[in-house]
A = this chain, B = another copy of it.
Amino acid sequence: MNIDEILEEVLDDIKPTEEEQRELKEMSSKIINKINEIIKQNPKYSVIIDVVQVGSTARNTHLRNNYDIDIFLVFDKNTEREVLEEIGLEVGKKVVEELGGEYWTEYAEHPYTSAVIDKYSLDIVPCYRIDWGEKIISAVDRTPLHNEFVKRKLEKNERLCDEVRLFKKFLKSIGIYGSDLKTKGFSGYLCELLVIHYGGFIEVLKNAKDWKIGEKIILEDIYKIYNLDKNYKFRKFDAPLIVYDPVDINRNVAAALSKDNFCKFVFYASLFLKNPSKGFFYDYYKHVDQKLEDREHGALLTLKIKRDKDIVDDIIYPQMEKLQRSINKIIEENEFVILRCDVHADEEFCYLSWEFLVYELPNVRLREGPSIFKKERVERFIRKYDKYFIRDCKLYAYTTRKYKNVYELFNDIIHGKLRGKISYPKYVNPENGVICKMYVKDTIKVAE
């Protein structure tokens, strides 16, 4: 199968059916009409000057079986924040009630209404109306402009919409779709911009395979919209990929993308172009993981920490990673070699897991000291250690190891004995942890 055939077949799988599309449009119209009705009924709602559907279903770049409808209530800029929040929730609540759905309040920078109506997930979010190039007032104010920009470029270009779908599916399959702090991948908007910029999915890949860390992408439209000449000095960002936002050229749309995920994309773009196959679009990363797991292991250990259910992934994941980095320093100071480490959370627990090259080390430890020519450091070293000797112009000393195995070290961690050496994040406290799933060679030692 050549690339074109592959893409056609994948598209057949992922493109929403006509029926799906029709139903989605009907439902969206119904919701928007209902909102407009409600606004008209009460003069105090006149601060809402526009109602726009945003998100991929509004822009026709969504994948099959996506029933997310995002509606933004655009408020007059002079509305007070409290009024915006109050009216935003009021209107949201009313429309869901009148359409017979279930609703609840979600909290981001400001509260908004989330709902389920039949098979549809609905978000009704209030924001301020800003103009192109204007400063935002609340965090989500750019969204209607993002929507406007993408719609303008993709409307009446069904093929380009399909290219965005293929790109999203590809990224999902290799595990890097989503700009949340757990995934650290590509947002939907970023996918759309890249397809618009390069003119297609394969064109994105062909360019991406040669990207380097710090790659800069400036859409042609940006020069037109802001009337910039070609020598304009754009703001600098320290990021693996910099895609200037047409809605705000001081913002990097790819800010959430991690270095490793950037590298993954560059690598798999190249790999796919060399050996194209449908497999890249269907849970490719799961197959890779499976292949990686199908091997022998070093010593495994997992720290399982009770999770506060109110804390969302976007907060808990960075904190788990921070704690793991902090623990890794202690592990390395104690000379245990980490083969692999990972974080993961389910609803109840945080799991920080490690795989070690060795589980146990001898009682003796060799400490590297200063060069024998550094007089002061030499004095401190020989005052501290007794069994020292000279090798390669440095002092070394034999001491007794503090932690003879990994379990002893983690036991001290969960009992708070390394409190001063580990930075505890707010919501992931290692002292709430238990050591579990400990495999050492062929023996399975379940510690707790």
Contact = CB atoms under 8 A, between A and B. Distances in A.
Interface stretch (A61-69, A120-128, A389-397): A389-397
A15 B322 CA distance: 68
Contact of A212 (B266, B357, B373, B389): B373
B363 A357 contact: no
Contacts of A83: none
A298 B362 contact: yes
A392 B297 contact: no
Contacts of A366: 339-340, 357
Contact of A357 (B260, B362, B375): B362
A129 to B, nearest CB: 42
Contacts of A292: 387, 389, 398
Number of copies: 2
Contacts of A11: none
Contact of A441 (B299, B340, B362): B362
Contacts of A400: 295-296
Interface string A59-84: 00000000000000000000000000
A58 interface: no
A391 B295 CA distance: 18
Given A266-B373, A292-B398, A364 B339 contact: yes
B270 A362 contact: no
Contacts of A393: 213, 259-260, 263
- State which size class the interface on A falls in: 35 or more
Contacts of A213: 373, 393
Given A296-B363, A393-B259, A441-B362, A267 B357 contact: no
Interface string A248-291: 00000000000110011011001100000000000000001001
A264 B390 contact: yes
A378 interface: yes
Given A263-B393, A266-B373, A375-B270, A386 B291 contact: yes
